[in-house]
């Protein structure tokens, strides 16, 4: 999957956006023509970004069609959208492409793509929360029957109209995702949608305004409207909400567009005036996110540099790396990125992250080494056997009888000092890390 490829400069000031409302069906050409005329109109009105709804490509009549018509992001059909972005010098938010996985045709993702004005993909987000709902006699929509969920958080992306958080439709009900986007710098949150009629009548505007108010972000929600086929109908009311919670643009229930001004200085002044994010009680609650870092930095284990090639997994707070002098086959270490000696020096967020990473690594090691037991331990302080003054969790794959009467703790306390146990070569350590990196 592509993530952000280029670091862009931050937008400031005022910007115009266009938000589209469609009634997609299974006629891809017709859907494209409608989207095309909307993008043209947005270009004429000098909008910098155009937002299209979930299922802008199509809505199939049944689950087989939903799967069969799915496409890859670099197909000819999608190229036409890239050409339009270039021709009209606009960025596109294409919410909810039925995105074919080349290695698993039966289970497409639901992907929100951001295309820049050069026609290139900046970022792809695969919908995390699939909409499975059955209200007897009213609505039955089981997205998991024709889509698979993404499993990665995707940070907000810099666009010409501001830093944009990516979500899709049903994601709006999971405030953690929006909160995380805000914490990562989002000024706008986008929810391209195909909300069902019943849920839309009850919750659409309330949910969008809540996400805008609590995160002090613009909320941009392109939408599907009307009947797509005899079995599926959408609520419409594509809208833009400002960070104070006011609806500043809205479509009704027909195929249409609405336009809005995004004023980034308003976002800044509002956050200054009411600094709710600095009033959060992070000492009492925390938002933990299982986030993986893809960049490979060299880090320090106390004063020892750990080369990126020895690190096989990292998150914003923690990193997992192979051991210089392993006690068993499959003995690795997890440390916080911040160099502190004791667990008690860590914040709650760092502590949670450290042990969540440790658990993930343990599962991977047990599978890889084909064992069913592990020793997880922390020697917290010199008197407890700690030789490197940087908090770390040891994970050791365990085999039956490997340490006599479980004398592993003596072994851990002494293994660094045993003259016969030589440090391994950098190459051997990098090879082991490469195997684990792939498995993680
Ligand atoms: P402890 O005795 O609990 O402080 O454990 C320190 C661990 O770090 C031991 O298992 C060492 O083999 C390991 N170690 C020390 N230096 C390095 C290094 N540069 N790279 C990887 N592991 C290291």
> Of the listed 203, 390, 392, 415, which one is catalytic?
392
245 assigned ligand-binding residue: no
The correct CATH number of 14-279 out of 3.60.110.10, 3.40.50.300, 3.40.50.720, 3.40.50.2300 is 3.60.110.10
385 assigned ligand-binding residue: yes
Backbone Cα Rg of the chain: 25
Choose the residue to mutate in 388, 389, 391, 392 for probing ligand 1, maximizing ligand atoms within 8 Å of C-beta: 388
Contact 73, 97 (CB under 8 A): yes
Q: What are the pLDDT tens digits along the chain (440 aa)?
A: 444 444 457 888 999 999 999 999 999 999 999 999 999 999 999 999 999 999 999 999 999 999 999 999 999 999 999 999 999 999 999 998 999 999 999 999 999 999 999 999 999 999 999 999 888 887 788 999 999 999 889 999 999 999 999 999 999 999 999 999 999 999 999 999 999 999 999 999 999 999 999 999 999 999 999 999 999 999 999 999 999 999 999 999 999 999 999 999 999 999 999 999 999 998 788 888 888 887 777 899 999 999 999 999 999 899 999 999 999 999 999 999 999 999 999 988 899 999 999 999 999 999 999 999 999 999 999 999 999 999 999 999 999 989 887 788 888 878 877 777 789 999 999 999 999 999 98
How many angstroms separate the CA atoms of 115 and 110, rounded? 16
Q: What is the pLDDT of residue 320?
A: 97
E strand map for 230-358 = 232-235, 239-241, 247-250, 256-263, 299-301, 304-306, 311-314, 318-322, 331-336
pTM of the complete model: 0.82
Query: Per CATH, which fold does 299-439 belong to?
Result: HIT family, subunit A (3.30.428)
Residue 216, ligand 1, Cβ within 6 A: no
Contact 304, 321 (CB under 8 A): no
| Residue 291 Cα distances to 242, 314, 317, 352, 357, angstroms | 28, 9, 9, 12, 10
Strand partners, 142: 132
Residue 388, ligand 1, Cβ within 6 A: yes
Contact 119, 85 (CB under 8 A): yes
How many angstroms separate the CA atoms of 297 and 25, rounded? 47
Residue 392 bears catalytic tag: yes
Portions of the chain given CATH number 3.60.110.10: 14-279
Portions of the chain given CATH number 3.30.428.10: 299-439
């Amino acid at each position: 999957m592509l993530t952000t490829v280029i670091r862009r400069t931050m937008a400031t000031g005022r910007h115009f956006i266009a938000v589209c409302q469609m009634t997609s069906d299974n006629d891809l050409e017709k859907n494209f023509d409608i989207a095309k005329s909307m993008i043209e109109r947005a270009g004429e009105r000098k909008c910098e970004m155009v937002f299209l709804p979930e299922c802008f490509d199509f809505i199939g009549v049944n689950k087989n069609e939903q799967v069969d018509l799915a496409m890859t992001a670099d197909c000819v059909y999608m190229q036409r959208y890239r050409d339009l972005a270039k021709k009209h010098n606009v960025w596109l938010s294409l919410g909810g492409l039925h995105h074919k996985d080349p290695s698993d045709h039966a289970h497409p993702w639901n992907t929100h793509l951001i295309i820049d004005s050069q026609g290139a993909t900046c970022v792809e987000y695969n919908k995390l929360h699939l909409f499975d709902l059955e209200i007897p006699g009213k609505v039955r929509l089981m997205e998991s029957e024709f889509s698979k969920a993404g499993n990665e958080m995707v940070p907000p992306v810099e666009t010409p109209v501001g830093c944009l958080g990516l979500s899709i439709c049903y994601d709006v009900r999971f405030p953690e995702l929006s909160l995380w986007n805000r914490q990562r710098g989002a000024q706008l949150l986008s929810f391209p949608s195909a909300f069902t009629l019943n849920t839309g009548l009850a919750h659409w505007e309330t949910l969008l305004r809540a996400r805008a108010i609590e995160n002090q972000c613009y909320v941009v929600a392109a939408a599907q409207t009307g009947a797509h086929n005899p079995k599926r109908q959408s609520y419409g009311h594509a809208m833009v909400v400002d960070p104070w919670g006011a609806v500043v643009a809205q479509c009704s229930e027909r195929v249409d567009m609405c336009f809005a001004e995004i004023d980034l200085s308003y976002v800044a002044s509002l956050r200054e005036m009411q600094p709710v994010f600095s009033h959060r009680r992070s000492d009492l609650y925390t938002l933990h996110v299982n986030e993986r870092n893809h960049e490979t930095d060299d880090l320090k284990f106390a004063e020892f540099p750990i080369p990126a090639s020895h690190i096989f997994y990292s998150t914003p707070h923690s990193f997992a790396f192979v051991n210089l002098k392993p006690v068993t086959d499959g003995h690795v270490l997890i440390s916080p990125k911040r160099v502190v000696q004791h667990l008690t020096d860590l914040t709650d967020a760092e502590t949670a992250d450290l042990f969540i990473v440790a658990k993930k690594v343990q599962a991977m090691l047990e599978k890889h080494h084909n064992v069913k037991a592990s020793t997880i331990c922390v020697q917290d302080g010199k008197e407890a056997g700690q030789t490197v003054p940087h908090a770390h969790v040891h994970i050791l794959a365990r085999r039956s009888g490997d340490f006599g009467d479980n004398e592993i703790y003596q072994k851990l306390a002494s293994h660094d000092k045993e003259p016969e146990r030589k440090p391994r070569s950098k190459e051997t350590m990098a090879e082991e890390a490469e195997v684990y990196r792939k498995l993680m």
